[in-house]
Amino acid sequence: MGTDSIGEGQADKFIRACRTTIGDSLRSITYFTRDGYEQIYLRSDLEQDADLTGFVDYESLGFDAPAAYRGSELGEYRFTIRVFENGYLVRVNTSDEGVFVTTDNLTLRGFEEVATAIAEVLAGD
């Protein structure tokens, strides 16, 4: 999987939305499609050489999540949170594009707020 170019204006919208909602807890932002990805933000204190291919390959499976969970008594699928030893990953996607952000510790409300902000940018709001 290679890179997929996102316009600078769209990238800036994701960065603004995430920084506004979670501030310095934001670690990174990666935009992805079925064909590729682009890391659009990386906090300056983090290593610049992370290999994102495995993350993107796995998170791309999320394109099928809305259909997989359709009809659940839990309601409509909204976003995914993954917990790691040194941080968290939040993924939001439509049927053909998505964004995952990595963060420091947040409250559940913080995860919901950043996921909502990402979803709004994806929807073009």
Q: 74-104 burial, b for 16+ CB within 10 Å, e for fewer?
A: eeeeebbeeeeeebbbbbbbeeebbbbbbbe
Question: pLDDT band at 4, cuts 50/70/90?
Answer: low
pLDDT of the residue at 1: 44
Q: Which domain does 97 fall in, by range? A: 2-123
Q: Which residues contact 95 (CB under 8 A, 6 or more apart)?
A: 63, 66
What are the pLDDT digits (tens) for 24-77? 999 999 999 988 999 999 999 998 878 888 888 888 888 888 778 888 899 888
Query: Domain tally for the chain?
Result: 1
pTM of the model: 0.90
Backbone angles phi, psi at 90, to 5 degrees: -120, 125
pLDDT of the residue at 125: 62
What is the domain-level CATH number for residue 44?
3.30.450.30
